[in-house]
Structure 1
């Protein structure tokens, strides 16, 4: 199988034989590209495998994963196709690189946030955590897609206070839904518009580090416990 997407991957420079690493799959907004998202998480490059996924459709000076009829109204066929392609892509790279299957993270901005939440709901607890920034969950995803449990998933939900595209009530709807279903949800509103602020970037780096480390510690303690018996 070949990759359904163009992507850029950064592996830790001192990658160890037999060692598995947490991974960040980064999804950009419409009109952007994979480098926009990879730049946000560059500080994680020695501890994580970082994968920026470029949308397969062109849009203005960048790319998109699907087109819109209007805000909040994706072209459904393109949306469904993109979700299927992204599922296949995650499978594909998970078998190509030394990725820890228990520490897969999705981060996304705008269109990427919409897709990261959608993928989380259909892939369930095979995803460890997500960082959706300024997006929403389409109603047809909640109503028509085959959803899986996210009871063990960690979520860091981010929202711009004065986002003209996805206002605060959308952020609250995201929080209410995810809080009901996910294992843990941190929700932060930033004094920004439809953008990723420096504070947001700093917080997402910290959150990914801490969540990944706590997951690693739990794995160690559970394997020690199993050796004790």
Structure 2
């Protein structure tokens, strides 16, 4: 069941096999979905991980449909969109506040919290890492790009493991934008794995297998 309790975001909590000082993954969904969207992926992740899947703060008008921020389309439409600065700032702050509070509430290992995001969630995850590298051990960013507002912070990624995956036929966020994110993070010193899969704006079974294998040597 989803709830917020005393934390700043509504979320699903699925404890792993480690009861105290547990490693954790925070799932950050994409635009127009909710905190349940990425749970099928979470079910395939290592059993030790405490799964926390968070809901974006803004309703989109449809049932169970939420977004982290509006889109700034001024530079050429959807394919070149950037996060609206005000909403992006609010959501990043909420993610940081959520993780900080969740560490205490769920007895998590503060040094072993990772982020896994899809689309808007991937964009949010990569920027969160660059803002607070001390708070996140690793990031999995699927079908996203690195927001221009954070290009000047890439040095904060030094030494951080990051998996960047994308769909080679993605017509929402072109794969070149994900590849650029991977290259920028590499320039900042991150340990980046970049993979392109034969799908559109979604995930492939092989992609999730690759993520799980990568995580087993990372978290």
TM-score normalized with structure 2 length: 0.87
Deviations 1:62-116 (A, max 9, x none): 1111122433132221111111111111111011112112211100000000000
Q: Does 1:33 align with 2:37?
A: no
1:84 & 1:168 partners in 2: Cα distance? 27
Describe the shift of the 1:108–1:167 C-alpha distance in structure 2 as closer, same or farther (beyond 3 A): same
2:48 equivalent in structure 1: 47
1:87 equivalent in structure 2: 96
1:10 equivalent in structure 2: 14
1:43 match: secondary structure: coil
Summarize the alignment of residues 96-115 of structure 1 with structure 2, pairs less than 5 Å apart: 96-115=105-124
2:134 & 2:156 partners in 1: Cα distance? 6
Deviations 1:150-206 (A, max 9, x none): 222101110110111222321221111011114311111001111011111222122
Please give the root-mean-square deviation of Cα atoms over the aligned residues, in Å.
Answer: 1.9
1:175 & 1:53 partners in 2: Cα distance? 24
2:145 match: secondary structure: coil
Structure 1 stretches of 4+ with a deviation exceeding 4 A read: none
2:173 & 2:140 partners in 1: Cα distance? 16
1:190 & 1:147 partners in 2: Cα distance? 25
Question: Considering only CA atoms, is the larger Rg found in Structure 1 or Structure 2?
Answer: 1
Describe the shift of the 1:15–1:179 C-alpha distance in structure 2 as closer, same or farther (beyond 3 A): closer
1:129 equivalent in structure 2: 138
2:48 match: secondary structure: coil
Note the residue ranges of structure 2 that are not aligned, 5 or more in a row: none
2:201 equivalent in structure 1: 194
1:100 match: secondary structure: strand
1:58 equivalent in structure 2: 59
2:165 match: secondary structure: strand
How many angstroms does 1:147 deviate by? 6.9
2:128 equivalent in structure 1: 119
Note the residue ranges of structure 1 that are not aligned, 5 or more in a row: 213-229
